[in-house]
Amino acid sequence: MSMMTAEQYIESLRALKTRVYMFGEQIENWVDHPMIRPSINCVAMTYELAQNPEYSALMTVTSSLTGKPINRFTHLHQSTDDLMNKVKMQRLLGQKTASCFQRCVGMDSFNAVYSTTFEVDAAHGTHYHENFKSFLTMVQDNDLTVDGAMTDPKGDRSKAPHEQSDADMFVHIVERRADGIVVCGAKCHQTGSVNSHWHIFMPTISMNEADKDWAVSFACPSDAEGMYMIYGRQSCDTRKTEEDACIDVGNAKFGGQEALVVLDHVFIPNEYIFLCGEYEFAGMMVERFAGYHRQSYGGCKVGVGDVVIGAAALAAEYNGAERASAVKDKLIEMTHLNETLFSCGLACSCQGHATKAGNYQIDLLLANVCKQNVTRFPYEIVRLAEDIAGGLMVTLPSQQDFTSDTVVGRSGETIGDICNKFFAARDGVPTEHRQRIMRFLENVCLGAAAVGYRTESMHGAGSPQAQRIMIARQGNIQGKKQLAKAIAGIPAE
């Protein structure tokens, strides 16, 4: 099969029997649900751009497994150029959607699991690497979207998986059979889970021998028996269900999504198992996936940042304030912060190296520095955008008020007339344009899109302390001490 078009991707989801629940009820037609469809449109853009000759060089690549052209989101990185092109591709998609396009977690899991299984096999004589290569070949040949699932509920954070009062707080093996395993548990905050054809499950922390039943990695289809998803709420999400509310939604076409993914005694055949009790490799898989995913934020969040900066500049222009030196300075600062994030994404990519399996891994220290900056800079970019936009971003009447024909004025003016009069922009700019840009900024800064930009910048790919732990581990303080001793004339130990 050749690479899918956006339309073919959307239709392929209809063939799945994925169980999705929202507001306490099962959603039968989740593909067309107004709260879910914007996130599907985001994933569809990864397919659409791959078909566009203008972007195909960035969006597509030759498979190292089959030699066929594939979507870059299903690729195993073969060079530092591949790593940098990944970041550039993610920035492009952020610019096109101003949201989370959800396919990054799968791409990052492919590369982490590929290299880890190679080393597990070398140590234990297992066949996980061949299992994974066969699985990924199928994914590439069919141009599938795969969700990478890592974050467990964790329960009592002070306890290891085997110490939890409820074993399901971490995904674990409940039965070993000759033809496979049966697993239970859940994964939280799963970006793109509903919109994916398959899932790859991975451990979420390093483990010891007592946790070997929880040291498990595998793939399964999203509509596997015993697997279901509970859709996560977002701020202002029900605006998408309101009639004729495209302006009030802010970003009416695109959006992200997260869900709780539950595994209730799901059977996993042997050919889809990538780790099964080899607990000493759980940490390696976690660390590598986290590194790739922290690199990703130096691309996707930068692309969204580009749109936020543009929206803030438009808000200033519509307000007639674009020439103010304070506004110009804020836009410069926003640009500086955004390009710094991009620089971090590129830096950890160009400093990458080949793994023992042959695919390329980013520089883990710089990837963690990249994500540490992402936990801070988008917040400042949003703050400055809110500063430029002004209070109207959160006090604007509804779209229905601007179109209302209810008479309220002494001269026969309607509510719509009054709103369009008093919220008019500078001369030559339609009031609706000002409405749209204010609602868009509200959406990105505070609403549903904030989940995929501001809040996800903090907690996606690990909360800030997770990066600080890795920075401390990889920062080589002892080596830096020796550098200082050498120059200061202090004998080395």
Alpha helices in 320-398, H assignment, sequence order: 325-350, 364-374, 377-389, 392-395
pLDDT tens for each residue of 219-259: 999 999 999 999 999 999 999 999 889 999 999 999 999 99
Identified catalytic residue from 258, 278, 287, 386:
258
Contacts for 363 with CB less than 8 Å, ≥ 6 apart: 347, 348, 351, 352, 353
**Catalytic status, residue 293:** yes
**What local confidence, expressed as pLDDT, does residue 2 receive?**
80
Residue 54 exposed, middle or buried by CB count within 10 Å (0-12, 13-18, 19+) = exposed
CA-to-CA distance for 164 and 50, rounded, in angstroms? 45
For residue 445, indicate whether it is catalytic. Answer: no
Amino acid at 112: A
Q: Average pLDDT for residues 18-39, to the nearest whole number?
A: 97
Contact between residue 105 and residue 147 where contact means Cβ atoms under 8 Å apart: yes
Options 42, 104, 220, 445, the catalytic residue:
104
Does position 1 have pLDDT exceeding 70, yes or no?
A: no
Residue range 86-99: mean pLDDT, rounded: 97
Whether 195 contacts 40, CB under 8 Å: yes
Query: Identity (one letter) of the amino acid at 424?
Result: A
Write out the DSSP string of 459-491.
HTTS-HHHHHHHHHHHS-HHHHHHHHHHHHTPP
Q: Report angle CA 486, 492, 493 to the nearest 5 degrees.
A: 160
| Model confidence pLDDT, tens digit, residues 412-427 | 999 999 999 999 999 9
Residue 365 to residue 345: CA distance in whole angstroms: 12
Within 8 A by CB and 6+ apart from 22, the residues are 33, 35, 230, 231
Choosing from 42, 100, 344, 370, the catalytic residue is: 100
> For residues 288 and 45, what is the distance between their CA atoms, to the nearest angstrom?
27
Strands (E), 155-236: 172-177, 180-187, 198-201, 216-221, 227-231
Q: Annotated catalytic, 33?
A: no
Work out the average pLDDT over 151-167: 97
The alpha carbon of residue 481 and the mean position of all alpha carbons in its chain are separated, in whole angstroms, by 38
Q: Which of 75, 77, 199, 293 is catalytic?
A: 293
Measured distance CA(375)–CA(361) in Å, rounded: 22
Q: Which amino acid is at 25?
A: E
Q: Would you call 419 a catalytic residue per the annotation?
A: no
Computed over its alpha carbons, how large is the radius of gyration of the chain? 24
Residue 72, both tokens: 């870059």
On the question of pLDDT at 269 being above 80, the answer is yes
- 442-463 pLDDT per residue, tens: 999 998 877 779 888 999 888 8
Establish whether 220 is a catalytic residue. no
Q: Look up residue 278 and give its two tokens.
A: 């080899």
Q: pLDDT band for 153, please (50, 70, 90 cuts).
A: very high
Tokens of 10: 């959307």
Catalytic residue, from 114, 231, 297, 453: name it. Answer: 297
The per-residue pLDDT for 18 is 98
Q: What integer best gives the mean pLDDT of the chain?
A: 96
Q: Which of 300, 344, 348, 445 is catalytic?
A: 300
Q: How far apart, in whole angstroms, are the C-alpha atoms of residue 133 and residue 33?
A: 35
In sequence order, which residues have a C-beta less than 8 Å from that of residue 225 and are 6 or more positions away?
266, 267
Torsion over CA: 213, 219, 225, 231 (sign): positive
pTM over 0.85: yes
d(C-alpha 149, C-alpha 203), whole Å: 9
pLDDT of residue 323: 96
Reference 379, options 455, 310, 442, 304; nearest CA is 455
Mean pLDDT of 269-287: 98
- List, for residues 284-310, the tens digit of each pLDDT value: 999 999 999 999 999 999 999 999 999
Question: How far lies 39's CA from each of 57, 76, 254, 356, 477, in Å?
Answer: 25, 25, 6, 36, 43
Q: What is the pLDDT of residues 128-152, one digit of tens each?
A: 999 999 999 999 999 999 999 999 9
SS3 label, residue 413: coil
Task: Write the pLDDT tens digit of every residue in 194-230.
Answer: 999 999 999 999 999 999 999 999 999 999 999 999 9
Whose tokens are 């926003």? That residue is 334
Tell me the two tokens of residue 491: 């004998």
Determine the pLDDT at residue 244.
87
> pLDDT at position 448, please?
82
Note if 322 is an active site residue: no
Of 284, 304, 236, 250, whose CA–CA distance to 456 is shortest? 304
Q: 191 catalytic, yes or no?
A: yes
Bridge partner residues of 187 (DSSP): 261
